[in-house]
Amino acid sequence: MLVVLLAQWGHALAQVRTDQTKTPLEEVVVTAKRQLTDEQVTQQLEKALEDDPYVYAEHVTVTTQSGVVTCEGIVGDAAELRRVLRICRRASGSKRVVSELQINDYPAEGG
């Protein structure tokens, strides 16, 4: 009985293998990501910073050269600094981010 079951199982396994080899293979298309120019990366980052409600983008300048993004300017606190850098690191086309940002540590007026 065991021999019959093993023979049937082996036949079923062989049938599965032959069925798999008969199916045509699907064509695989590999596409590369489109490379952005430095100007496009800068424009993308400027828009992202302007759209972020927690970043005062008027005091931040972004430039890109050979995929290296440089952030310059003044931010209000450490949280805003981290947010600007996170946005710049996540941008497509950004290879590296250099921070030349300064935190405004002056006390608020009238207080």
- Provide CB contacts within 8 A for 52, sequence distance 6+: 83, 87
Tokens 């941008």 label which residue? 91
CB 45 within 8 A of CB 90: no
Amino acid 27: pLDDT: 72
Q: Does domain 38-103 have CATH number 3.30.1340.30?
A: yes
pLDDT in tens, 14-37: 555 555 555 566 776 666 566 899
Neighbours of 57 (CB within 10 A): 18
Domain residue limits, the chain: 38-103
Region 74-85: mean pLDDT is 96
